[in-house]
Amino acid sequence: MRRLQLIFLFFFTLTFFSFASEKVSSQRYIDPLTAKNLVKEKGAVFVDTMSYLECMDHRIPGSLCISLEEFEKRSPQLLKDKTQHIIFYCESDECLRAGETHNVAKTMGYENLYILDGGLPAWKRAGFEIESIIRIRRQPVESIKFNKLEEFKKQKKNLFILDVRSEHLFKKGHLEGAVNIPLYVLHRRIKEIPKDRSVLVVDETGKRSFLVCCYLINNGIRDVTRLFGGMKEIERGKKQKR
């Protein structure tokens, strides 16, 4: 019985590791120049995996704006050919959205998938152009640090906390009273945000909330503040307290 358990454990470990390594090695990372050549030679298309707002604000020319969250729903219409060469990217070299979208596409049967190594910053560093279809005018935006949050809440009595993270992250944990409007649907649900209230924008790491705030200000929401460092800072603060 014990021997059987050992054999089972051995094969389980083997399968786990082979699966894990396969998952990583199957992702093909390409540099900006290769990506550009791929477009020219194989008719590859770029897919910006950020939200619609971010993609329309700045993207690689000719990219399709399909966010990670909507890829499964929208790709059958936009990418009908499963042999189409697709290059996924996101807007920072730390972002994992391109890799995650790549995995979703793979399970859907797309065959020729790539990830732009280093994302949009690498593209810019290579000296290639980007385009702006609907630019969000940048605005002065106030930010608040997590250790001043309680004070801030007391100060802004009618505070509307807008959590722009995706639904599953919101479910895992959020600030008390926060309303979840994920960034990828924000342009469709902007009307749900009250114009007469102070708005605090919360994202994952504080990197996306600035643009969201600018978008809100441009849409007539005047009192907008962003949470510096996003939910990551809140978690860090909790750990420090512990």
Partner 1 sequence: MTVLKRKGLFLFFMLLINSFFIGDMSYGMTKVACTDCHRERRFTTLFRESVHGNIGCTGCHEPIKSLDRHIRKKEGLRLISCGKCHGEIEKVYNNSFHYLYEDFRCYDCHYEIHGLKPQKEQIKIAIAKNCIRCHPNEEYAASGHGASVMKGNKDSATCSDCHGLHDTKAYHTSTDKYILEAREFYNKACKSCHSNYEMMRRNNLSPDTVKYYEETYHGKVQDLGYPTSVAGCADCHTTHNILPKEHPDSTINPKNLAKNCERCHPKIHPRFAEYKAHPDYRDRKKYPILYASFVFMVGLLLITFAFYWTHTLLWWRKVYWEKHRLEALGIKLETPLNHQEANQEIKRFSIQDRVMHVFLVISFFGLVITGFPIKYHNAPWAKVLIKAMGGAHNAGLYHRIAALILIALFLITLWRCIKFVFPNGFEKKNREGWKERLFGPDSLMPNKKDWQQFKAMVKWFFNKGDYPHFDRWTYWEKFDFLAVFWGMFIIGGSGITLWAPELASYIYPGWVFNIASIFHSEEALLAALFIFTVHFFNTHLIPTKFPMDPIIFTGRYKLEEMWKNRRLEYERLLKEGRIETLKVKHPSISLKIISSMFGHASLWLGLIFTLVLLWTFFFG
Residue 169 CB partners (closer than 8 Å, separation 6+): 204, 231
Closest CA to 179 of 158, 197, 202: 202
Q: Which stretch binds partner 1 (CB under 8 A): 15-23, 32-40, 123-131, 172-180?
A: 123-131
CB-based contact 104:76 (threshold 8 Å):
no
Residue 155 CB partners (closer than 8 Å, separation 6+): none
User: What's the one-letter identity of residue 86?
Assistant: I
Q: How many residues bind partner 1 (CB under 8 A)?
A: 24
Asked if 156 touches partner 1 (CB under 8 A), the answer is no
Answer for which of 72, 106, 207, 223 binds partner 1 (CB under 8 A) is: 207
What track of x and - describes contact with partner 1 for positions 2 through 31 (by CB under 8 A)? ------------------------------
Reading the block at residue 91, the tokens are 């807007």
Q: Measured from the CB of residue 34, what is the shortest distance to partner 1 in angstroms?
A: 20
Instruction: Tally the C-alpha atoms within 13 A of residue 140's C-alpha that lie toward its C-beta.
Output: 0
**Is 74 or 228 the residue whose CB approaches partner 1 more closely?**
228
Asked if 237 touches partner 1 (CB under 8 A), the answer is no
Answer for which of 64, 141, 169, 175 binds partner 1 (CB under 8 A) is: 141
Reading the block at residue 93, the tokens are 């070299």
Rounded distance between C-alpha atoms, residue 205 and residue 236, angstroms: 11
Binding site for partner 1 (CB under 8 A): 57-58, 91-94, 120-121, 124-125, 127, 130, 132, 138, 140-143, 205-207, 210-211, 229
